[in-house]
Structure 1
Amino acid sequence: MLQDKSFAVETEVSDLSQILSHPSLAPTTLRRIAVMGNFPPRQCGLATFTRDIYKCLHKALPQARCDVIAMDDRAEAYEYPPEVTKHIAQDDVAAYRKLADDLNAADTQVLFLQHEFGIYGGPAGAHLLECLDRVTMPVVTTLHTVLENPNDEQRRVMEALIRRSSTLITMAHKGADILKRVYDVPSEQIEVVLHGAPERPLVDSSLFKGPLNVEGRQTLSTFGLLSPNKGIETVIEALPEISRRCPDVIYMVVGATHPNLIAHEGEAYRDRLKQMAADLGVDAHITFINKYLSDDDLIDILQATDVYVTPYLTETQITSGTLSYALAVGKPVVSAPYWHAVEALADGVGVVCPFRDSDAFAKAIIGLLTDDEARAAMSARAYHYALPSRWSAVAASYIRRAEADLDHPVTAAAVKAFALCPAPSWRAVERLSDDCGMAQHGRYRLPDRAHGYCADDNARALMLMARQSKLTALDERKVDMAYRYAAFMNHAWQGERFRNFMSFSRQWLDEGGSDDCCARSFEALIEVVRSNLPADLKLWAKELAQRVLPHVMEWTSNRSRAVLLRALDGALGHVGDAAGLTALIARIAAQLHGAYRDWSSADGHSWFETALSYDNARLPEGLLIAGVRLNDAAMTTDALSALTWLMDRQTASGHLRPIPTQWFDTNPDTPAQTHPLFDQQALEAQATLEACLTAARLTGDAKWTAEAHKAYGWFLGQNDHGLSLITDDGGCYDGLTPHGVNENQGAESVLAWHLGWSALKAAN
């Protein structure tokens, strides 16, 4: 490595200490921070960036403890340097949860997170959310990629990341624009901080050429891990013309081959480039430096460069560390028009050429190599442009933003604010439906006709249509589906109660459904009356609800009472008279509250029954609705106590563990860890989600918002297996088994996912 290279050329650039314009840091309260990302010796640009962020923060905050968390992408850990205090396997879900606990326990004030798709485990890196769901400190997230057209999984993770980050740092204004335009991120949450770069004086390139054996030659260079997306072919194709006009030119391709490429094909790609150069007769004008170089050695090569070239092949690169380094040492740049280059090289800072246009690259490079005055002027402009990217300036920006975030303490509830994924596809709902109604069960994705239909699921399907109509205008096909489910429910009513089970041959298999089925069917009618479905459908629902109403006191199970309380509260102002409905609410609520008083005890059993079963969260939800409606403080307090008690038993390691079927009708006061974990069903997650949303709405307590999000996360993979239960076509697996997901997709599960999403959407 060259030493003592402080030979400044005579340009408009003055001493570096006089140029750096970033304000010095005020006294800081930061005493414990953490930095998370990849880290050397892992070979990738993000690892280098994380190391440099750590170094500049550590230098700027000498009094602070800085923990470094590195991600492992292989079974054996890397031989990390001492500054790495923890490393976790990217696919180990439990490790993310443990990390959050450790950061919280250490009183970490700020987590500086590096985010790139592909370095965290789970679908689109969703495992990272297992940590972010649990940390209670501000999270300052540096986005190394901002996708303009994400797929569903990427959008889901990105929106969750946005909601959990106090600040989003992007290294280009284009990234800020995408965040605002595509993800609706407010400007005040975004900070644009240039990619960091070293602090070196602007010097003549000839001072560095001797040790590289290129003295007296005109030098081009491209550096970074070698892979096909770098577009090296574009410059090789330009070399015949460049070398004809500039016979002493040498193109240095600097960097080891990308480890992923090595794993698949070894050095075949590099060999193809060499052969291409030989075929074009320019092999004497190109040299490959196949090493993973230290920063100092790399910058030496950059300072020996006359023109730096980035001929990348795609526009969607929001930041380039190599471009940032080249500009920081004042290199004239000729580049393809990827996002970072278009922004950074504007106003004469560099030259932008079309993708894969070797003629344009040749013309631009020749123009700079043959005009010393133009090259020197561009060098000065590049150096001035990059002054804010010096690592000391970057550290100042990060610390100032973190200090500002500390002025707004982050609670667990705030961190766990809703992060809705895109609306589920309707294909799964349509697949399970025919001209009779919705099939009850699925065999994998197929409707299982052997089990026919049930009013329970058709009532839920009708509720979904009613709720969706209030969120968005339904197209003609969905309205037709609503009529179909309504027709099923109309046929199910037998004068005193609803029948439930129907065979595929359309024969009723019972004389009357359970109390729970009847209450749920009545609630579906009320939902339709309050919906934006067609007027005649609402009129039908109102007329049938008025016929059903005199029978509701006959349904006496605790769950039917709870569902009726929600339905009757919703009926006020729409069906029946207010006084009569309020009297019904009072009578039913007294019965449900009586069950709670009978079975709850001073030793901590805060429940309505001796055991837990299915749809448990409906019980406290119904009682809470009634307590608030009747202004009954005791009823409201007991409802919230019961919901809190239930959530304690449904929470494990910070995520939802719905009461599994193997736990039904057993002693719920036994510690959760000793109970069977499976099977866990989507219905429980939906009921929990909706009950917690109701508690948040009626009490204004943000902790219930966090609990609702916990239930929502169960569908997305925040569960005991770390597996998502939802599918791209809007389906939902029938729960979690000891071995993974239950591959069947029945109506109850599919509708639980859609109804849960709709409830969250309405709450947002």
Structure 2
Amino acid sequence: MTSVIKYYAGIDSVAVIGNYLPRQCGIATFTTDLVEGISTEAPDINCWAAVMNDKPEGYPYPDKVRFEINQNKLSDYRTASQFLNINQTDIVCVQHEYGIFGGPAGSHLLKLLGDLRMPVVTTLHTVLNDPAPEYRAVMCKLSDLSDKLVVMSRKASDFLKDIYGVPEEKIVFIHHGIPDTPFIDSSFYKDKFGVEGKKVLLTFGLLSPNKGIENMLQALPAIISKHPDVVYIVLGATHPYILKSHGDAYRIELQQMVRKLDIGEHVIFQNRFVELSELCEFLGIADIYVTPYLEEAQITSGTLAYAMGTGKAIISTPYWYAAEMLAEGRGRLVPFSNPDAIAEQVIDLLNNDVARHAMRKKAYTFSREAVWKEVSRKYLQVFNEVRQNRTRNPRPRHSYVENIKAITNFELPEIKLDHLKAFTDDTGILQHANYTIPDRTHGYCADDNARALLASAMGQKYLPTNGLGLDSLSGHYLGFLLYAYNERNGRFRNFMTYSRQWMEEIGSEDAHGRALWCLGKAVSFLDNPGHLAISTTLFNKALPAAENFHSPRAIAFCQVGMHAYLDRFSGDSDVRRVRNVLADRLYDQFSSQATDDWPWLENSLNYANGKLPHALLLSGQGMHRSDMIDMGLKSLKWLLAITTEGKHFVPIGSNGWYERGGLRARFDQQPIEANAMVEACVEAYNITRDHTWFENAAMCFNWFLGQNDLNMPLYDPKTGGCRDGLMADGINQNQGAESSLAWLLSLMTLQTLYAEETLHQWVSNKTE
């Protein structure tokens, strides 16, 4: 297992789209084998199938099939994409054949793929060399929607590059998978099938007129004249589509030809679809396998791959796949529709055991790379590659924000508190969500109730409050923090179960710092005398513990809270003293570690990075320390450069963060990062009045609205909540408290800034 994990680390779920057994077709067999192969090779991955149905009632599928799509019903494709997204599937692997999907040239599939958030790997079972316009268009769009295209022949790769303009780096070659069977003598199973002592020729596969079986039958009299012990087995049921439209006319025609040629004793028709184990036994008894197809335009053939994998001597017409696979002595090619040439090659191989066995060995040896174990590993490698690539180079799926307006015309959404209220019960605000539904499993935390207090207090200051109930909400959250404070040790507890049991006696330094941040800010906003008194008292009780903190983020949160508290109670000398102690400590951490190329206090960037320069800017103002302000502006400017790409904000991802000298994690991007940067940029603007900081604040805020790596909004205008994060494969659809509060605090901060700027411009215009 250890040697394989590197191929698929971080992949938990793979969905394969195609047909599936017991539906009778080559795609169904391939899809089934691929799902089983991946499941065997990587048992810790949940590999399952979403299947196409050509009849409304479907088929009696096994448990591996989790979703069924009516191929002609477009709405099913839309529903399938929703199902895949909801189940947070890591990779989707499509088995593409135009005919199994509905719409012109199978175009319904594009609707499904266009709505997916995760990487898509598409295996092409057909690549046309002279496509009609609609088929070309579908293939080009399919290429655009796929992260990788898997082909099973080199010629298919050439077609994609030369005819469809697909970049070479998007194409990967993987053999058609085959079962891993032993290299055995053809006499081993002959007695089981009643052909002992016979020379067996075999053709298998679903029967249709393009198979060219008639040419093989016409070659038989000449072969029989040299080898009277020959028997030719035609194995396979008539293709379901042919049977539906034309009945069994082709098989009847072949049977009449057998009678006319008087070769009935030498031909056996097995009119059935056989399971893999029996198919391998049939292949085992064959001395020569024949594929007398009539046309060259076949880019892959599972039947030929199976025959090579069982070590058969093969004679074939030169269709594309056969010409490539049987090169270098791995088989013999004969012209199309030429029974004499078939007879000549069969007779020669039956006459020459040495040449026949040498050919068998070459084919068998060549096919070892195509056994399902190896093929499954290669697919896993491709899955891992596209997932990693999507993480490093995200691809926008939707253009939600086509044009972000200039800051002078910027329009902010209205504040909506529905989600905040829905997550608040008689205890406090719940932490987590299943989509938009509160998840009571994880209970509550002081962190989120502190942020909720800040949002409700800030809202009372700046919003029309009629009917919003913000005063009541702030009292509710304040009550939670009052209960969270542990009088015995002067620290806040953080996590509480849904049954109101504290999970700890002391929360982290960061949790305590966040509580002080929000209490201090609430003190600056609250007008309700009772709420103000409790907030002030609780703030002062909890502050002494922070004096001994060394966590830089805990210090930064405390600094922001103390600065706001001192806006209201500037004469509180004890708070000023603690503010100065912690500000010096934070500044010293920066000074001792920062370099010109890495002006930061740590050798990594992780969470809530914007709060650190924000704290320096506030403390520098309060203490009249220009060196602190300069350090704050320098570090914030550097941080913004790292987290800006083009014209959009790219927070440091929580899935690995960013170690100095290493690769930065692109995902998962968290709303608290955008909130911290919005507030820091606003403070930089307040200090410098440089309009660039105003625009930077708006850019970071627009991350919520869709100006991000994927052009997908995290804010949900229906609920007023915010989704939990931007992932490599789309949006985390859960709307937890932390994310929604980060959105509300950012929106209120920017609304306040925008209102103040508008007022400033109005006053300036009046005085001119």
TM-score (norm 1): 0.53
**1:239 maps to which of 220, 227, 236:** 220
**2:143 maps to which of 162, 172, 182:** 162
Q: CA deviation at 1:95?
A: 2.0
Q: Residue in 1 aligned with 2:93?
A: 112
CA distance in 1, matches of 2:701, 2:12: 39
CA distance in 2, matches of 1:637, 1:95: 42
**1:181 maps to which of 142, 153, 162:** 162
Q: More deviation in 64-73 or 225-234?
A: 64-73
**1:258 maps to which of 233, 239, 243:** 239
**2:172 maps to which of 164, 185, 191:** 191
Is the Cα–Cα contact under 8 Å of residues 706 and 712 in structure 2 kept in the other structure?
no
Is the Cα–Cα contact under 8 Å of residues 97 and 653 in structure 1 kept in the other structure?
no
Q: CA deviation at 1:24?
A: 5.0
CA distance in 2, matches of 1:593, 1:121: 48
**2:275 maps to which of 251, 275, 294:** 294
Q: CA deviation at 1:249?
A: 0.7
**1:398 maps to which of 343, 360, 379:** 379
Is the Cα–Cα contact under 8 Å of residues 43 and 259 in structure 1 kept in the other structure?
yes
Q: Residue in 2 aligned with 1:350?
A: 331
Q: Residue in 2 aligned with 1:718?
A: none
Q: Matched residue of 2:150: which SS?
A: strand
Q: Matched residue of 1:407: which SS?
A: helix
**1:311 maps to which of 272, 285, 292:** 292
Q: Residue in 2 aligned with 1:145?
A: 126
Bigger radius of gyration: 2
CA displacement 1:507-557 (0-9 Å, x = unmatched): xxxxxxxxxxxxxxxxxxxxxxxxxxxxxxxxxxxxxxxxxxxxxxxxxxx
The amino acid across from 1:90 in the alignment is: Q
Of structures 1 and 2, the one scoring higher in RCO (CA 8 A, sep 6+) is 1
Q: Matched residue of 1:381: which SS?
A: helix
| Unpaired runs of at least 5, structure 1 | 1-22, 419-564, 566-588, 605-630, 655-668, 672-701, 707-764
**1:382 maps to which of 360, 363, 385:** 363
CA distance in 2, matches of 1:640, 1:198: 53
Q: CA deviation at 1:410?
A: 5.8
The amino acid across from 1:225 in the alignment is: L
Q: Matched residue of 2:159: which SS?
A: helix
Return closer, same or farther for 1:411/1:113 CA change in 2, 3 Å cut-off. Answer: farther
Q: Matched residue of 2:337: which SS?
A: coil
Q: CA deviation at 1:107?
A: 2.1
Are residues 1:322 and 2:320 paired?
Answer: no
**1:134 maps to which of 98, 102, 115:** 115
Q: Matched residue of 1:111: which SS?
A: strand
Q: Residue in 2 aligned with 1:25?
A: 4
Spell out structure 1 runs of 4+ moving beyond 3 A.
410-413, 415-418, 599-604, 631-642, 644-647, 651-654
CA distance in 1, matches of 2:22, 2:84: 24
CA distance in 2, matches of 1:398, 1:100: 22
CA displacement 1:313-356 (0-9 Å, x = unmatched): 11111110000000001001000110110000011100001110
Q: Matched residue of 2:279: which SS?
A: helix
Q: CA deviation at 1:72?
A: 0.5
Is the Cα–Cα contact under 8 Å of residues 69 and 86 in structure 1 kept in the other structure?
yes
CA distance in 1, matches of 2:386, 2:416: 42
Is the Cα–Cα contact under 8 Å of residues 164 and 415 in structure 1 kept in the other structure?
no
CA displacement 1:422-441 (0-9 Å, x = unmatched): xxxxxxxxxxxxxxxxxxxx
**1:226 maps to which of 189, 207, 210:** 207
Return closer, same or farther for 1:70/1:148 CA change in 2, 3 Å cut-off. Answer: same
Is the Cα–Cα contact under 8 Å of residues 251 and 286 in structure 1 kept in the other structure?
yes
Q: Residue in 1 aligned with 2:348?
A: 367
Alignment of 1:192-211 (within 5 A): 192-211=173-192
CA distance in 2, matches of 1:64, 1:670: 35
Return closer, same or farther for 1:46/1:634 CA change in 2, 3 Å cut-off. Answer: same
Q: CA deviation at 1:173?
A: 0.7
Q: CA deviation at 1:646?
A: 13
Q: CA deviation at 1:92?
A: 2.2
Q: CA deviation at 1:94?
A: 2.1
Return closer, same or farther for 1:638/1:91 CA change in 2, 3 Å cut-off. Answer: farther
Return closer, same or farther for 1:104/1:166 CA change in 2, 3 Å cut-off. Answer: same
**2:35 maps to which of 47, 54, 61:** 54
Q: CA deviation at 1:265?
A: 2.7
Q: Matched residue of 1:207: which SS?
A: coil
Q: Matched residue of 2:4: which SS?
A: coil
Q: Matched residue of 1:163: which SS?
A: helix
CA distance in 2, matches of 1:397, 1:641: 42
Q: CA deviation at 1:416?
A: 3.7
Q: CA deviation at 1:74?
A: 0.9
Is the Cα–Cα contact under 8 Å of residues 142 and 170 in structure 1 kept in the other structure?
yes
Q: More deviation in 68-77 or 299-308?
A: 68-77
Return closer, same or farther for 1:362/1:63 CA change in 2, 3 Å cut-off. Answer: same
Is the Cα–Cα contact under 8 Å of residues 302 and 326 in structure 1 kept in the other structure?
yes
Return closer, same or farther for 1:417/1:230 CA change in 2, 3 Å cut-off. Answer: farther
Are residues 1:34 and 2:18 paired?
Answer: no
What fraction of aligned residue pairs are identical, expressed as a percent?
40
Q: Matched residue of 2:390: which SS?
A: coil
CA displacement 1:474-511 (0-9 Å, x = unmatched): xxxxxxxxxxxxxxxxxxxxxxxxxxxxxxxxxxxxxx
CA distance in 1, matches of 2:104, 2:28: 21
CA distance in 2, matches of 1:335, 1:234: 11
The amino acid across from 2:179 in the alignment is: P
RMSD over aligned Cα atoms:
3.8
CA distance in 2, matches of 1:316, 1:241: 29
Paired residues, what number? 443
Q: CA deviation at 1:209?
A: 0.7
Is the Cα–Cα contact under 8 Å of residues 25 and 400 in structure 1 kept in the other structure?
no
CA distance in 1, matches of 2:104, 2:393: 24
CA distance in 2, matches of 1:124, 1:262: 22
**1:333 maps to which of 294, 314, 322:** 314
Return closer, same or farther for 1:636/1:415 CA change in 2, 3 Å cut-off. Answer: closer
Q: CA deviation at 1:264?
A: 2.1
| Unpaired runs of at least 5, structure 2 | 418-690, 720-725, 731-768
CA distance in 1, matches of 2:193, 2:64: 32
Are residues 1:67 and 2:87 paired?
Answer: no
Q: Matched residue of 1:205: which SS?
A: coil
Is the Cα–Cα contact under 8 Å of residues 705 and 712 in structure 2 kept in the other structure?
no
Q: Matched residue of 1:323: which SS?
A: helix
Q: Matched residue of 1:150: which SS?
A: coil
Q: CA deviation at 1:635?
A: 11
Is the Cα–Cα contact under 8 Å of residues 316 and 339 in structure 1 kept in the other structure?
yes
CA distance in 2, matches of 1:639, 1:146: 44
Q: Matched residue of 1:198: which SS?
A: coil
CA distance in 2, matches of 1:307, 1:203: 14
CA distance in 2, matches of 1:641, 1:25: 42
Q: Matched residue of 2:123: which SS?
A: strand
CA distance in 2, matches of 1:317, 1:383: 22
Is the Cα–Cα contact under 8 Å of residues 251 and 287 in structure 1 kept in the other structure?
yes
CA distance in 2, matches of 1:653, 1:401: 29
Q: CA deviation at 1:26?
A: 3.9
CA displacement 1:152-204 (0-9 Å, x = unmatched): 11111111111111111101111111111112222221111111111111111
Is the Cα–Cα contact under 8 Å of residues 164 and 417 in structure 1 kept in the other structure?
no
Q: Residue in 1 aligned with 2:442?
A: none
Q: CA deviation at 1:266?
A: 2.1
